[in-house]
Amino acid sequence: QVQLVQSGAEVKKPGASVKVSCKASGYTFTSYDINWVRQATGQGLEWMGWMNPNSGNTGYAQKFQGRVTMTRNTSISTAYMELSSLRSEDTAVYYCARGGGYSGYPHYWGQGTLVTVSS
Amino acid sequence: QSALTQPASVSGSPGQSITISCTGTSSDVGSYNLVSWYQQHPGKAPKLMIYEVSKRPSGVSNRFSGSKSGNTASLTISGLQAEDEADYYCCSYAGSSTLWVFGGGTKLTVL
């Protein structure tokens, strides 16, 4: 069965960077896009960007351009999302979600990684 | 790209039907049959309930159905059950620059 297992919770200081991992299993990693979505406490879902694990091509929401980088290591079926210049407003749960169908809509989701930004 | 508009809350009694709306624009919901719906229980990851406007993934109850008219998509849950109480989010394809946009979420209360 499809599984996405994310790395553990992180606490970072303002201005630092965080890198969240998402290890995929149960399917061919390079065959489906990976989306990243975040959710601040008590708030809604916010799409951050996507990556094609086969080509490495990426696309980022305008809000995060210049601060987010999505990469992958195909040898270990793992995707990464790095967010830099962290501020308190970046405190949120970050999810990876495998794309589905031809369009890549978020289908299977990881369990989420809480990133807390605090001085 | 602005978020899609959903009602903040809806409620219904067990056995009843409810509908959650999701209003976008001609640049997202109105242009593509790529609306999906997610159920999220507290402290859990979202779960896909509907994709491509009206298709149900394997394992999702047929009590859940989706539709779209113009710039507004809808999720209908029939025969409400206590376990349906959760937050629901719509999501639409929004073009090649910002691929996906979410709604603000709707809290469903089963009375």
| pLDDT digits 0-9 by tens, A25-79 | 999 999 999 999 999 999 999 999 999 999 999 999 999 999 999 999 999 999 9
CA distances from A54 to A73, A77, B60 (A): 10, 11, 30
- Closest residue in chain A to residue B32, using alpha carbons only: A103
Residues of chain B contacting A105 with CB distance shorter than 8 Å = 34, 36, 48, 51-52, 91, 93, 100
Q: Strand, helix or coil at A29?
A: helix
Residue pair A116/A12 in contact (Cβ under 8 Å)? The answer is yes
Buried b (16+ CB within 10 A) or exposed e, A30-45: eebbbbbbbbeeeebb
CA distance B7 to B88: 10
Q: Do A112 and B104 touch (CB under 8 A)?
A: no
Q: Do B93 and A109 touch (CB under 8 A)?
A: no
pLDDT at B87 over 70: yes
pLDDT at B8 over 80: yes
Q: Per CB distance under 8 Å, which residues of A are interface residues toward B?
A: 35, 37, 44-47, 50, 59, 61-62, 95, 97, 100-101, 103-112
In which residue are the tokens 């289908």 written?
Answer: A107
Confidence of residue B1 (pLDDT cuts 50, 70, 90): low
Burial of A85 (0-12, 13-18, 19+ CB in 10 A): exposed
Question: What is the per-residue pLDDT across B15-69, written as a single tens digit (0 to 9) for each?
Answer: 999 999 999 999 999 999 999 999 999 999 999 999 999 999 999 999 999 999 9
Instruction: Write down the pLDDT at residue A101.
Output: 80
Question: What is the per-residue pLDDT across B95-109, written as a single tens digit (0 to 9) for each?
Answer: 877 789 999 999 999
Question: How far B56 CA sits from the closest chain A CA (Å)?
Answer: 11
Instruction: Write down the pLDDT at residue A102.
Output: 80
Confidence of residue A104 (pLDDT cuts 50, 70, 90): confident
Other Cβ atoms closer than 10 A to B96: 7
Confidence of residue A86 (pLDDT cuts 50, 70, 90): very high
Question: How far B36 CA sits from the closest chain A CA (Å)?
Answer: 7
